[in-house]
Structure 1
């Protein structure tokens, strides 16, 4: 059995609770596998830093229900404990995208139509899909007796959710705790943990969420604090059996067949404090298909790695490091020259911003970037966030015209000029009639704000590597 950490809404402390549980287990030298529901990059960085094992995203919108089951099964093998951190509130999802699991379809038919229509990709959806019991984290800072009503509502709304306990967060005093306990005594749901208000335990954040682990210098101290918090605040006698994976019987995946080539296809992956938003699965798939991934730093390296055949720019925070990126003139020139030479390049979100003429930061300062795209990325207050269904309007190193893919946007930058020959026609899942054209295709460059998970789209990476192989051969001929 594996445990799901859920919340009644966003901001109740799911991440703090999850990190505390992971930190305590890791401090006891246990092998722990963590998962994160949804398209998050930063929370998984903290999971990974604590456990030493890559956290895996469970997102049926970006992938599929079957892929979620396969990934979960695969990565639970051989570990002592496993834990899943939910997303937003327990039932917060999107209108149903697709359902490809027969067992789930039967369960969903017995669930109310209203729930089914709204919670695809939610924490509850993943709990049903993987048959995982749920612990509900509740922010108690502004309630007492009402905690029973909240707990009762979340435990009874969907009979297929097994809510096995609650964790009370931000409890103010012993008197406050007594009132909460009295209220919950009316229900048959145990309190599995109580966390007092933690004014001395903070995880720094900024405009897109937590500050990534690569920028923090006090991680070991933070993890020790979290481990002690977990040791003294949770009912471990009850929790440990729930955290122990049981035998799983989901289908096994078909093996990916690599593109056999010698020498190997070398892909330079931008990896530093400015660029670190990568799904581990994407990197794994590239390597499984035969790519050799070579990390390099647009912040520090003045030259690209030698004899590469492709470039991969993930997302991150280039706006926070725009001055340092701008100072590395030779590095920017090397990237521009490589793209002009037709090297296959994939860039998303922060990577797209880096390839623009400039980045204008929150202080309205202008910083020159690579300059391959004839537009400027300007930082603004409003957040662009959500799942997108994108259809290719032209061929690119990844896609063929007419192909459709699901992705996710999460940024505060805007481009001053939109491509005259856009890469995608993009549909916001909330507004089916609203379509936006977005993305750039120049030379052998595929650049877009959309973050992609290639778990169900390995053929797109295979196509990208095919272009890289063509580049390798042409460079030999040249």
Structure 2
């Protein structure tokens, strides 16, 4: 079989619902499906993974590279029956107002057809003008059909069909206005899967919707015609690890995984396991102690602000984490992990909650959204990075840290860097011999030196700990 990209005419058009309905319908037939997400998002892939039952990968040429996106897609699609890619924002919306990193850009890279989802709630004949513009703006992007979302009535649908006939564009799906399939959201997007107790029932409704609302004869033909066998890309391996003789050795790294901390790129975790790192999950919410004999610690992003009281009251674990970090335990913390390591977190109700205290700063939830790609230059060595390194990352949070770190990890600029003057380059993060903490999320796909350095830092800690024990 082959692949299909689900794109939207704009953010909020319904592409996530359409993607999950298609994935659910395919899985209900016991098909082997590989899902992907364009861009840096963490939450949509959680839903995809819960449906398809296997890891989901981000296709982001800004955080990685064009060739990496191609290799990632082919490598993980090679043994599946279907590959379904959810787009990001509107079809042509890329980084910094450019096309780069857009769904259209990724569609060109992986040579996949596009199914365009359009919110038709306030449209009739104008739909034709919109779809015609999308289908002709870049002829290299193959829009094979549309899904009409939020259709109000049979009469409304009849008008929309006439509009599509005028431009000879197939209608491959029709979704009515159905509140029963709406997923709850909050300040950073959808509520993650771990917080939804009725997830199986939601997926059942989505599967029924998918089976009922799409033209599966046409979709199956599209999948067949986009067969991976015809790809013009070299299916290179994704195993970028160093030879075994150079690996850091078997080390134990604790990784925070619960409702408060669950933002992780699958490629990052895989790069550590390829270096013989054993990732041991624990919960800062419910576990009183860290897993034993750890050589490193990973605290990913998430929603610590939603669970600040529970995190704060788990005092024994906080003290244990602070003690281990003070003793030199290599620790990698992104966004929510950074917030957890600070002295206190002030929630949306202006209530401060004591946190770990390994970083002498406080974070406060604000109404301001900080969002975008960041070019980072390393200003201080950490267990992950070396002085002078540069790479792309992504910020997405509604909190602020104060005071500005006395040991700033990075100097940041935005995207594209030509629009940012030197006076706007800001210090960010906290870095020292044991801590790498930042709001900036990193994808390690084209930087195998990052997980290698972290593994080596953990191995050095393990060696020192063993030596001190034997004395």
Task: Using structure 1 for the length normalisation, give the TM-score.
Answer: 0.93
Q: In structure 2, what is the equivalent of residue 107 of structure 1?
A: none
The structural deviation recorded for 1:243 is 3.1
Q: 1:399 aligns with which of 377, 380, 385?
A: 385
Equivalent-residue separation in structure 1 for 2:62 and 2:370 (angstroms): 18
* Contact 2:380/2:432 (8 A) holds in 1: no
Equivalent-residue separation in structure 1 for 2:98 and 2:461 (angstroms): 45
Q: In structure 2, what is the equivalent of residue 256 of structure 1?
A: 241
Equivalent-residue separation in structure 1 for 2:403 and 2:160 (angstroms): 55
Q: In structure 2, what is the equivalent of residue 101 of structure 1?
A: none
Change in CA separation of 1:154 and 1:50 when aligned onto 2, cut-off 3 Å: same
Equivalences for residues 53-64 of structure 1 within 5 A? 53-64=54-65
* Contact 1:47/1:55 (8 A) holds in 2: yes
Q: 1:246 aligns with which of 228, 245, 248?
A: 228
Kindly provide the CA deviation profile for residues 20-66 of structure 1, in whole angstroms up to 9, marking residues without a partner as x: 00001111111100100000100000000000011110001000111
Q: 1:344 aligns with which of 314, 317, 330?
A: 330
Matched, 1:189 2:169: yes
The structural deviation recorded for 1:291 is 0.5
Equivalent-residue separation in structure 2 for 1:210 and 1:448 (angstroms): 23
* Contact 2:248/2:275 (8 A) holds in 1: no
The structural deviation recorded for 1:255 is 4.2
Q: In structure 1, what is the equivalent of residue 150 of structure 2?
A: 170
Equivalent-residue separation in structure 2 for 1:408 and 1:240 (angstroms): 36
Equivalences for residues 253-292 of structure 1 within 5 A? 253=237, 255-257=240-242, 264-292=250-278
Counterpart of 2:318 in 1: which secondary structure?
helix
* Contact 2:383/2:433 (8 A) holds in 1: no
Change in CA separation of 1:128 and 1:349 when aligned onto 2, cut-off 3 Å: same
Counterpart of 1:303 in 2: which secondary structure?
coil
Unaligned runs of 5+ in 1: 96-116
Q: In structure 2, what is the equivalent of residue 156 of structure 1?
A: 136
Q: In structure 2, what is the equivalent of residue 144 of structure 1?
A: 124
Counterpart of 2:68 in 1: which secondary structure?
helix
Equivalent-residue separation in structure 2 for 1:356 and 1:287 (angstroms): 28
Equivalent-residue separation in structure 2 for 1:436 and 1:119 (angstroms): 26
Equivalent-residue separation in structure 1 for 2:261 and 2:436 (angstroms): 17
Q: In structure 1, what is the equivalent of residue 283 of structure 2?
A: 297
Counterpart of 1:382 in 2: which secondary structure?
strand
The structural deviation recorded for 1:152 is 0.3
Equivalent-residue separation in structure 2 for 1:263 and 1:399 (angstroms): 19
The structural deviation recorded for 1:135 is 0.9
Q: In structure 1, what is the equivalent of residue 303 of structure 2?
A: 317
Q: In structure 2, what is the equivalent of residue 105 of structure 1?
A: none
Equivalences for residues 38-437 of structure 1 within 5 A? 38-94=39-95, 118-244=98-224, 245-247=227-229, 248=231, 249-253=233-237, 255-257=240-242, 264-430=250-416, 431-433=419-421, 434-437=424-427
* Contact 2:248/2:459 (8 A) holds in 1: no
Task: Using structure 2 for the length normalisation, give the TM-score.
Answer: 0.95
* Contact 1:33/1:51 (8 A) holds in 2: yes
The structural deviation recorded for 1:258 is 5.3
Kindly provide the CA deviation profile for residues 449-468 of structure 1, in whole angstroms up to 9, marking residues without a partner as x: 00011011111110111111
Counterpart of 1:402 in 2: which secondary structure?
coil
Counterpart of 2:115 in 1: which secondary structure?
strand
Kindly provide the CA deviation profile for residues 132-167 of structure 1, in whole angstroms up to 9, marking residues without a partner as x: 111110000011010000000000000101110000
Unaligned runs of 5+ in 2: none
The structural deviation recorded for 1:416 is 1.9
Equivalent-residue separation in structure 2 for 1:336 and 1:41 (angstroms): 27
Equivalent-residue separation in structure 1 for 2:284 and 2:172 (angstroms): 46
Equivalent-residue separation in structure 2 for 1:94 and 1:77 (angstroms): 29
Equivalent-residue separation in structure 2 for 1:194 and 1:40 (angstroms): 26
Counterpart of 1:390 in 2: which secondary structure?
strand
The structural deviation recorded for 1:432 is 2.3
Equivalent-residue separation in structure 2 for 1:94 and 1:24 (angstroms): 32
The structural deviation recorded for 1:257 is 2.5
The structural deviation recorded for 1:334 is 0.6
The structural deviation recorded for 1:436 is 1.1
Equivalent-residue separation in structure 2 for 1:157 and 1:69 (angstroms): 23
Counterpart of 1:383 in 2: which secondary structure?
strand
